[in-house]
Every structure is written in C-alpha cells, then in structure tokens.
Structure 1
Amino acid sequence: MKHLFLLLLSFIFCACSGQHPKINGVSFVGAPNEITAATIDPIVNVNANWAAVMPFGFIKSLDTPKIVFNMDRQWWGERRDGAKKTIELLQNREINVMLKPHIWVWHGEFTGDIDMISEEDWKTLEKSYEKFIMFYAELAEEMNTPIFCIGTELHTFVQKRTDFWSQLIPKIKTVYKGKLTYAENWDQYTKVPFWDQLDYIGIDAYFPLSQSKTPNVEELKKGWQKHKNAIVTLHTKIKKQVLFTEYGYRSVYNTAKEPWDSNRLEGNIDLQGQENALTAIYQEFWNEPWFAGGFLWKWYHNHSEVGGADNNRFTIQNKPSEQLIKEFYSINQ
C-alpha cells in the first residue's frame, strides 16, 4: 500500500489548488439486456464522476461501405433505446456522460484499417457514417450529455478523407451544442487534421511503456516521458485540453509492453502489474492543468460476476485496482 499512500499524497496539491475536477470516468460496456438503477451503484462506489456510453454500428469487413446500427439483434445497450436508458440511470446518480459511438468490424478487425477500394465506396461510407453519427449526436443533444465523441480509432478514414470530416463536424454542431472530441489511437493522434475544430484532443492511451514482466511504478513513469512530451507538444500547438478517451491495463504479465493487446490468453495473471501501471498514469497526468481526465477501460454492468483474482482482462472490477481507483477518484470530487 506504500505506492497508494504516495499516490494520494502527490495529489494534495491538485485537490487544493482550485483546479476543475478531473474527468474520473469509466467506459461502460453496453449490456445484453435492460439494466436497473442498482447497476449504477458500483460505479458510484468507485467515485467515478463520468461514464462513457458506447452504442455500436457494424460493418461486415474492412472494405464494406455500409454501416448497420440500431438493430433488434444488437445487444440492448448497443442500441439507441439502451444507450438512452443507460444515460438516464447514470444522470440520476449525478454521473456525467460522454456518448461515444463505436464501429465494430465483424471478426474483430481493427477499425483503423477500414479502407475503401473505390471512390464510389468512399462516398457510400461517408453517407453511411454521417447517418450513424448524426443519429447519435441527436441523442446526445436530447439527453444533454456534456461530451460527444464523433468517432473512435478510424485513422485511415480520417487521414484519407479529411474534407469529409471537416464538413461533418459543423453538421454535428447544428444538432449538438455540447463539447466534442474524437478518440484516436495512441500511435496516430498526432495525425488528426481537425483537432482545432473540437474541444478536446482525445487519445486512446495504450502507449507502450516497459518490457518488464511486472514493471514497477518508477519504471513505468520513466517509460511515459517521451510520450508525455509529444502529448504536451500537441497540446501547446492546438491549445486544447487532452482527454484520455480510453486508458487501462490488463491484469497480466507484461501489461505495459503492448497495452492495446486484447487477445484471448489463459493465465499469466498479474494483479500487481495492473495496479502499478494505473498508479503511474495517475501520477504522471492527473495533476497536469492541461489534462482533462480519462475513461477507464472497461466497466461491466454485472459487477458481482466479472473480474476477480483469476481474471486477466482490462476490467478492474473485484481486483485490487478497484480499491486504487476508489481512493484516487475520491480526490478530485
């Protein structure tokens, strides 16, 4: 618990300096079936003051130009009705919401590699994506969510079709009056051409930090320095706050080597590595005035049935890191 004490001590200044409360968020995974108010209790218990709600659209392959969404065969929490009810339940507990629509490519292929084979297909995709994102921008406005995320990890689409995105953002602003961000992957965020049109620089912060099996906090903080310097450089240029639209670590050995790796594997459980990596990210970022906060990846509705000491996935639920989050998130309330 020594590192937890040091973590809390290091944020006394932050809590007393008059800074705005950070976004202490969780990424709330859409539930298969309708949830109740009791589902929100564990989020309140870890002192989260924000949650990302994530409806989904689907495409069949990386070169398919049509997005399908809001279908009956989707999970309840991935559709409009489920997202709306989830937002209501969170807001009833005074938890702010970032509505963050995602695209899922069948077979789990990476959305950043979505790429059309013809100009005609690109035009079709653009029309389809605009329909998808405007549909949820209208929901974000209806529910008065403070932040709307206009896309997640779509770097090929973003970099190849810059004119589309530059025209899409003003259209979104005609129906949604809150703050906007976009969630780009850790290795592509410097190449987004429209940060100046948004309110936050959004980064999915799965930066590689260490090759060690169980890296300690100081090693992880050292691993952050080159990445942090690059983030500060972009912030200084764009003059927008930085938001970690996703951050998190698996409870697995080598958790900071390739933090984006979500492949299924058995065993190799390392609860300490997860705890150390989260401690390091908090110490490095949450006290910075240019840093808005972040959304922990990821949080499930069925709290009592997920996570635990034999789980090596991203969730902190029912692991030592849950207590770490509870203590840390309590500081900036």
Structure 2
Amino acid sequence: MKKSLTVLYVVVSLCLATLAMTHLIPVFRSLNEKVEPVFQKGMSYRHLPYPYNSSESDESLLRMKETNVGHVAIIAWWFQENSSSTQIYPHFDFTPTNESLKHAIQMAHNLSMKVMLKPMIDTEDAINDPRWKIKGTAEWFKSYKAFMCSYAQFAQENDVDLLCIGCEFKTTELNTTTWREIISEVRKYYSGPLTYAATIDSYQDVLWWDSLDYVGIDAYFPLTRKNDPTLEELKQAWNRIANDLESWHLKVKKPILFTEIGYRSGDGNNMEPWNWTATLELDLQEQFDCYLAALLTLWDKTWFYGFYWWIWESDPKAGGPNDTDFTPQNKPVQYLIRSWYSSERHIDPCYELKQKYLMYAFVATTMAFSNKTAHYVRKSQIKRI
C-alpha cells in the first residue's frame, strides 16, 4: 500500500507542477504538413513615396536589414470605389507594378530576408468607408477570387515565403463556405503557407482558420485610457491581451502571427493604436514603451510566431525625431527593434517532454482514482516538483 501511495504522490505532483507551467508546447494543425511554423521578426513595407524598383527603396530595404529584420511584408494596394462596389482595380499612385514588386522581392531575398506578400484593398474613401465595411456579395467574391489567384500565381513564380489572402474584411468573414473555396483555389496556384489578417474584434469569429497555416491578427489593441501610461501599465495591458489570446489559441491550435502591429510616436496613441488620422503631440517615449511592452510580453510565448510592425517606408530618410506617424525609421524605437531582433527566443527545450509527462500523469491518476486509492492522499502530502 505504501508503494502504491508513493507512486500516486509522484503522479499527482507531476500533474500539479505541469499544470502550473505557464507555457505548453502547442499542437498545431495544418492542411500542409510540410509547413513548419517559423518565428518571424517582421516589418511591413510599402512603396511610398518611392516605387519598389527605385534606388531609394533599395537603400530603405538595406537599412531595414541592418535593423535585423528577418521577414518583410511587401504590400500591393488595390482599390474599389466604395464598400458596396464589386469591382477591384489598381490605382496609378498606389498600386505597384508586377515588375516593381518582383524587384522588391528579389532585393529582400538577396538581403536574406523572407517575404510575405500582402495584397490589400481599400475604398476610395478609406476614412469614412473603411475596408471592414466591404459587403462581400457574390459578385464581390467573384472579383476577389480572381484578384487573389492572380497574386497567388505571382507569389509562386517569385518564391514568396508566405501569402496573406485577405486583410480586415470583417463584414465578409462569416461567409465561411466562400472563404474556404477561395483558400482552396489559391492553394492550386501557390504551394507555400497562407494566413489572413483579421481585426482585433473579429478574429475569434472566423470559423475557417483550420484552412490556413497561421492565424493572422492586425493587433491594434487599445492598451490604457491614459495619455502618459508607464511601461508597467502598458505591460499589464499586454499581459491581459496575451492571456486572452493564449486561452483562445487552445481552441484553434494554430500559430498566431501579428500581421500588423504598430504605434505612432504621438501622445496617447496607445489608447487607439489604429487611429491614423488623429492629430497628436510628439511623444517618442510612448511609441518606444508600447513596442517594448509588446516585446517583453510576447517574445517567448510558445503559441506566438512574430510581429510585422507598421510601417517601414520606401524613403530611407522617413520618420525622424519630429515625426508623429507610425514608422519606426530614424527614431529611438528603431534601435529597440534592432536589439530585440538580434536575439533568439528562449523556449524551454523540455516543454515537449513535460507535456508527455502531463499525459502520463493524468492517465496514471485516473487509474489510481478508479482503484479507489485516492482517498488516502492528504493535501499535506502532495509536494510540488
């Protein structure tokens, strides 16, 4: 009997100790078994004000690489007249040519950066009629499928490493069957991993994450209600967000990627990080602290697979100490990114082994209880490892 109780003490102790761990190795499901999730030290990149095939853009990408960026999301912007329109078209001032896109992809690859291709659609009045209001009618989906398949073929031909199949189409996301059809069609043209960029208030409502390889979130979560939060307050906010994401991740079992995250260098931007039109007073410290709080909280989470910071411009001289916009270029936060991106994550190599122990412990404990021995175990005798 003593031997049986000793075994039971150890089993229960293993259960408690393992359950106390804050991280467990996630078990990811993927339609593409060849896709191994990769942590992405990312940056979003757009061709404003210079085209992707300009010498200025080449220099800007070089400076990005010097900031230790490992993955770059290259954006291809298209438009439609309004949220009810069904026709998608290029815009002379904003849509890159395929040749310039190809140049930027090759330049990034030459600099040893991986590429996510991110086609995006806006309405002509993006302020009052944003993309999340796009209706998603049958005719719109027909146009969008053709649009995405064209870029999927382009991505395949140019060795793109990750393809984002949509961005912030919140009103359309409940059309689960149609989105699955689009994803299936895209996979006929592109063999690499896929993601989708959902908003902070819709990612939990998407029912087709199982068709993709990464959960993508444009992570403009509000952090505090203060213009001048401390770093500790920002960390507390991110801890709450991370806890919610981790709980939800246990349901979808997919690696989570921030397809966008960013902060303007303006006072109070932490309250509405998505707000790109507000007039803000310069505050480089708040931008720095918001980045740091996110990095400190998420860097070593086993379910989290990277940041794409918004936004790096094709002008190598963009940003600077007097700029209140999103770009980290030529600001203190650029050096913060360089420092963090120079290091690796510290994931416990024993997590997988510990998870196996958890399984064995539960099985053994269940057997022990079924044998009616558990009532001999006193709480004072249970020790943590």
TM-score tier, shorter chain, comes to 0.7 to 0.9
Partner letter of residue 128 of structure 1?
Answer: S
> Match of 1:53, SS?
strand
2:59 touches 2:316 (CA, 8 Å); kept in 1?
Answer: no
Of the three residues 36, 41, 47, the one matched with 1:24 is 41
1:30 Cα deviation from its structure 2 partner: 2.1
> Match of 2:173, SS?
helix
1:21 Cα deviation from its structure 2 partner: 6.6
Partner letter of residue 138 of structure 1?
Answer: Q
1:56 touches 1:79 (CA, 8 Å); kept in 2?
Answer: no
Of the three residues 301, 304, 309, the one matched with 1:288 is 301
> Structure 2: where are the runs of 5+ without partners?
1-36, 346-385
- Which residue number corresponds to residue 321 of structure 1? 333
Q: Does 1:83 align with 2:97?
A: no
Per-residue displacement from partner, 1:248-284 (whole Å, max 9, x unpaired)? 111111121011110142x511100000000000011
- Which residue number corresponds to residue 133 of structure 1? 148
Aligned counterparts of 2:86 and 2:281: Cα–Cα separation in 1: 39
- Which residue number corresponds to residue 149 of structure 1? 164
1:22 touches 1:332 (CA, 8 Å); kept in 2?
Answer: no
1:214 touches 1:272 (CA, 8 Å); kept in 2?
Answer: no
Partner letter of residue 331 of structure 1?
Answer: S
Aligned counterparts of 2:60 and 2:235: Cα–Cα separation in 1: 34
> Match of 1:101, SS?
strand
Partner letter of residue 168 of structure 1?
Answer: I
Aligned counterparts of 2:132 and 2:94: Cα–Cα separation in 1: 23
- Which residue number corresponds to residue 377 of structure 2? none
- Which residue number corresponds to residue 115 of structure 1? 135
1:310 Cα deviation from its structure 2 partner: 1.1
Structure exhibiting the larger radius of gyration computed from Cα positions: 2
Of the three residues 54, 69, 74, the one matched with 1:53 is 74
1:107 Cα deviation from its structure 2 partner: 1.6
- Which residue number corresponds to residue 234 of structure 1? 248
Aligned counterparts of 2:185 and 2:93: Cα–Cα separation in 1: 27
Of the three residues 281, 284, 287, the one matched with 1:274 is 287
Per-residue displacement from partner, 1:165-188 (whole Å, max 9, x unpaired)? 011111111111110100011111
1:22 touches 1:286 (CA, 8 Å); kept in 2?
Answer: no
TM-score scaled to structure 2, two decimals? 0.76
Q: Does 1:202 align with 2:216?
A: yes
2:41 touches 2:307 (CA, 8 Å); kept in 1?
Answer: yes
Aligned counterparts of 2:60 and 2:233: Cα–Cα separation in 1: 37
1:55 touches 1:80 (CA, 8 Å); kept in 2?
Answer: no
1:84 Cα deviation from its structure 2 partner: 1.4
The list of structure 1 runs, each at least 4 consecutive aligned residues, that deviate by more than 4 angstroms after superposition, is: none
> Match of 1:273, SS?
helix
Per-residue displacement from partner, 1:147-176 (whole Å, max 9, x unpaired)? 1000000010122x2221011111111111
- Which residue number corresponds to residue 3 of structure 2? none
Aligned counterparts of 2:194 and 2:176: Cα–Cα separation in 1: 17
- Which residue number corresponds to residue 5 of structure 1? none
> Structure 1: where are the runs of 5+ without partners?
1-19, 117-121
Equivalences, count:
303
- Which residue number corresponds to residue 381 of structure 2? none
Q: Does 1:181 align with 2:195?
A: yes
Between 189-198 and 80-89, the greater mean CA deviation after superposition? 80-89
